[in-house]
Chain A
Amino acid sequence: MARIELEGIQKRWGPVWGVRDVNLDIKDEELVVFLGPSGCGKTTTMRMIAGLEEPTEGTIRMDGELVNDFDARDRDVAMVFQGYALYPNMSIYENIRFPLRMRDVPKAEHEKLVREAAQLVELEDYLDRKPGALSGGQRQRAALARAIVRKPKVFLMDEPLSNLDAKLRHAMRVQIKHLQRQLRITTVYVTHDQIEAMTLADRIVVMDSGLIQQIGTPDEIYSDPANTFVASFIGSPPMNIVSGVIENRTFRSEGIEIPELQIDHSGPTSFGIRPEDCVVARDASRPSHFRGSVYGVEPTGDLTYLTMRAGDKNFEVKTDRSYRADLGAEERIAFDTERMYFFDTESGRRIT
């Protein structure tokens, strides 16, 4: 159990910036996900919390105590790595026991603690095996068991699921969330997968180029993105963002016209709308905002992805499962006017 405060954290290797400026207050028992593309500084920030990297500037506090000068082994954090990092020469039992031995937990308790941890991840039957004899999912669970065995103050998870296939990833995601709730341990989770972030997080920290772009609950991040980066990083397929101009409360871009806007802004503007907030308007009497030609139709079973094209830009629309159209056909699209986003074209910052 711990609260983690990061203040003015920077990390530089010579001229190369890893993290530019991170300020973050992680509450006790919270599960915070760092989300961003590779190279955005999310793993570096986590490694600084772990004590595996030293910040160039800034302070890290755990439960109010300054831990900048604490070595990784004195911070009482447990980390799960992308490649599992199981010790290949030790059995799973010895792997899970390793942190207990290193931290001088009385020997008499080892057996009980290891079995408890193994049971939590359903791995009791594999304790005698070497890591090499386990499947990817089992290795991942062994790594989890090793992290939870000594009930650390903080869990750090660095893309723990990225080496697993999609089905297993879903199962492990549910298990990780369940464990975290059950053990009530403050957790920082790093991923580039927005689905993982949305499903796991109490709060998401979206990062790019070493800077925090937005901090918020999954809901806030999804429905109230602070800028075009966050808007286009979250969602699958991502938000459509089109640059155009607002004049006389009307936004215009190639194929798009949205009149009667309720915002006081004019000049170059980027407009964004999520694929699920667009409707195909075949009924000519219905108002529509966008005209283009059908570029691709992808049925997935439960819904159909429609890709429209206007000029040289693609535009994604989620339609219902029965939608079909010929390539090149003209189609009119109406937007949910309650769910439109406008961004400053230059800075990318949200206007409304």
Chain B
Amino acid sequence: MASIRRTGGEKLWIRYLILGAWALFCITPALWFLSIGLRPRTEIITPQPIYWPTFSLDAWHMLWSDWPMAKYLRNSVAAIFGSVLIDLVLAIPAAYSLARYEYRGRDDIGFYILSTRMMAPAIVAIPIFFLFRNAGLLDTVWALMLIYAAVNLSVVTWIIRSYMLDIPKELEDSARTDGASDLRILWEIIIPAIRPGIITAAVIAMIFAINEFLFTLLIASTPKAYTMSVALANFTGGSDGVIYNAIALVAFLAFIPVFIVVVAIQKHLSRGLTLGAVKG
């Protein structure tokens, strides 16, 4: 008995060691960014290693006084949440239709929706630019909302669909004999039952939207519609040179909300990702 327990204990120990090392490896860039962001600019570019860094809020102050950071942040938040909202409003009914109704061409339509994801974004960049220019939407947050929503719609639809397929058909039959209409079934039975799936899909869409760079750069030609990710790029040029500490701080700040959300829902997230991958 004792020897068995000891080998078990050893194994557990090794497991913690490996996982701990991996966690450290993953979190190090974020901590490194934080460390750079909270140091004076001169200290970052010295060639000698520094063991006791000087703490400074220079970068923090600069972000808010020299740059319209608050506006970038507002743009980001509006574009991201707006796009996720658009995605959910469109994807939930679409997913329900794909998961539950029988009609000719249903599977083809499902595939077409997913296939929008298979294209490299650069291929459609130019046409999209003209599309938005002709619609007079260039340089607006609305355009960002629409483009983020369009990019993510297919993934959101498929994740939600896979969750819906998991709901027993009996539940809907039961609601129907209880007297519920299709819309009430969707609203009162299906949506509450797949809430984890909806949250997962929304978070995945959010992460994609936060990281989106190409289309934002294309559509936002002035600071009017800049988001955090494009603002970052601005710190690399201009008369001030590359402002490393500001870049690091913005990157860290952008990382925080995603980190918190992902930790909070990680159980759902892994399920959502694998379900979306495996279910046909």
- Judge if A88 is at the interface, Cβ distance under 8 Å: yes
Give the contacting residue for A77; candidates B168, B177, B180; CB below 8 A. B177
Q: Do the beta carbons of B175 and A89 come within 8 Å of each other?
A: no
Q: Which chain B residues border A23 with CB–CB below 8 Å?
A: none
Any B CB within 8 A of the CB of A102: yes
For this complex, into which size category does the number of interface residues on chain A fall?
A: 20 to 34
B180 touches A87 (CB 8 A): no
Give the one of B173, B177, B192 with max A CB within 10 A. B177
Cβ of B170 within 8 Å of any chain A Cβ, yes or no, is yes
B177 touches which of A72, A82, A87, A88 (Cβ 8 Å): A72
Tell me if B211 counts as interface (CB < 8 A to partner A).
no
Question: A70-85: contact bitstring with B at CB < 8 Å (1 yes, 0 no)?
Answer: 0111010111011101
* Closest B residue, CB atoms, query A158: B170
The yes or no answer to A52 lying at the interface (CB within 8 A) is yes
Asked whether, in the complex, the Cβ of A79 is within 8 Å of the Cβ of B189, the reply is: no
In the bound complex, residues from chain A placing their C-beta under 8 Å from that of B171 are 85, 87
Instruction: Select one of A75, A85, A89, A103 contacting B192, CB under 8 A.
Output: A89
How does the 8 Å CB contact mask read for B174-204 relative to A, with 1 for contact and 0 for none? Answer: 1111111100100011001101000000000
In the complex the two chains form, is B184's CB within 8 Å of A85's CB? Answer: no
Query: Which residues of chain A are within 8 angstroms of B178 by Cβ–Cβ distance?
Result: 73, 78, 98-99, 102-103, 146
Q: Is the CB of B180 within 8 A of A83?
A: no
Question: SS class of chain B's interface: helix, strand, loop or mixed?
Answer: helix
Q: How far is the CB of B176 from chain A (nearest CB, A)?
A: 4
Residues of A153-210 at the interface with B, using a CB-CB cut-off of 8 Å, are 156
Q: List chain A residues, Cβ under 8 A from B195.
A: 89
Contact residues in B for A73 (Cβ distance below 8 Å)? 176-181
- Across the interface, do A83 and B170 meet the contact criterion of CB distance under 8 Å? yes
8 Å CB contact of A88 from B175, B176, B180, B193 = B193
CB distance from A329 to the nearest CB of B (A): 52
Q: Of A51, A71, A98, which one neighbours B175 at CB under 8 angstroms?
A: A98
* A52 engages B168 (CB within 8 Å): no
Give complex CA distance A102, B179 in Å.
5
A33 at the interface (CB under 8 A from B): no
Query: A50 on the interface (CB 8 Å rule)?
Result: yes
Chain B residues near A88: list those with CB within 8 A. Answer: 193
Q: Give the residues in chain A near B188, CB-CB below 8 Å.
A: 87, 98
How many of chain B's residues have a CB under 8 angstroms from any CB in A?
18
Q: Is the CB–CB distance between A82 and B170 below 8 Å?
A: yes
Whether A102 lies near B170 (C-beta < 8 A) is no
Q: Are B179 and A52 in contact (CB under 8 A)?
A: no
A selection of 15 A-B contacts at a CB cut-off of 8 Å is A51-B176, A71-B176, A73-B176, A73-B180, A75-B177, A79-B173, A79-B177, A85-B170, A85-B171, A87-B174, A89-B195, A98-B188, A99-B178, A102-B184, A156-B177
Instruction: Beyond A73-B179, A75-B177, A87-B171, list 14 extra A-B contacts (CB 8 Å).
Output: A51-B176, A51-B177, A52-B176, A73-B178, A73-B180, A78-B178, A79-B173, A85-B171, A87-B175, A87-B193, A89-B192, A98-B175, A99-B178, A102-B180
Q: Which of B175, B177, B179 contacts A50 (CB 8 A)?
A: B177
A99 nearest in chain B by CB position: B178
Can you list, as one digit per residue, whether each of A13-46 has a CB less than 8 Å from chain B (1) or not (0)? Answer: 0000000000000000000000000000000000
- Which residue of chain B has its CB nearest to the CB of A79? B177
The distance from the CB of A79 to the nearest CB of chain B, in whole angstroms, is: 4
Interface residues of A in 297-341 (CB under 8 A from B): none
A47 contact set on B, CB distance < 8 A: 173
Q: Does B170 contact A99, Cβ atoms closer than 8 Å?
A: no
Between A77, A82, A87, the greatest number of chain B beta carbons within 10 A of the residue's beta carbon is seen for A87
A residues in contact with B175, CB < 8 Å: 87, 98, 102
**Chain A residue at smallest Cβ distance from B174:** A85
For window 123-156 of chain A, which residues contact chain B by CB distance below 8 Å? Answer: 146, 156
CB closest residue in chain B, given A52 = B173
Chain B residues with CB under 8 Å of A77's CB are 177
